[in-house]
Amino acid sequence: MHTTSVATTPLQQLRLACRAAADAARGKARSAFARALLRTLRVRVIYRERTLLQMTRHSPCVVVSNHVSLLDGIMIALSSPVPLAFGVDTEFSRGRSLSAMVLRALSKMGYGEVIPLDSHAPFGVRQLRRTLALGRSVMIFPEGAISPRGTRGEEQAGLAWLAQAGATVVRLKIRGAERSRWFAKRGDQLRPRIWLRF
């Protein structure tokens, strides 16, 4: 029989209240940080009710999106209603590169976890499938690379294999980030307006 511990002394109750207040403060700070960064990047996030229901009630999900810039995963992590496990190419997720450091920092701040993916080895995709089996949602860019023109490319086989685990596939759409000179392949604007639709 499973029993839950209940704070019985005033000191235990105070400790639990302090812990709950600290958790709430961290959550508010995380939300304020995300809103500020998205505003700085000129990202407008649009949530559809159906997508929110799929992501919050029908767990686990395989969240997928078109891939048009280096900002895509960061925008999704900052605005996702649930923490996601992101499948990220090893070129960007390992080592001492700036992108790897940013991804580690976001992960430590509670914006999800990073699972390195290597197109020549199946270990990362298997880890994503294990994550789904544990009831947690994952996020991948099924095209496998940034689109040079911002158009949707051919999806790789990994998405179909992950979906066979019984997960709901949730499709997002990013528009505008492909115009960024700093973060896209053929951008023509320094700070384009970006839309992310859940």
Active site residues: 67
DSSP state of 155: P
Integer Cα distance of 84 and 72 in angstroms: 14
Contacts with 193 (C-beta within 8 Å, 6 or more apart), sequence order: 42, 44, 176
Nearest Cα residue to 100 out of 111, 85, 116, 84: 116
DSSP state of 84: -
Integer Cα distance of 61 and 132 in angstroms: 8
Tell me how far CA of residue 62 lies from CA of 32, 58, 70, 140, 166, in angstroms. 26, 11, 20, 7, 10
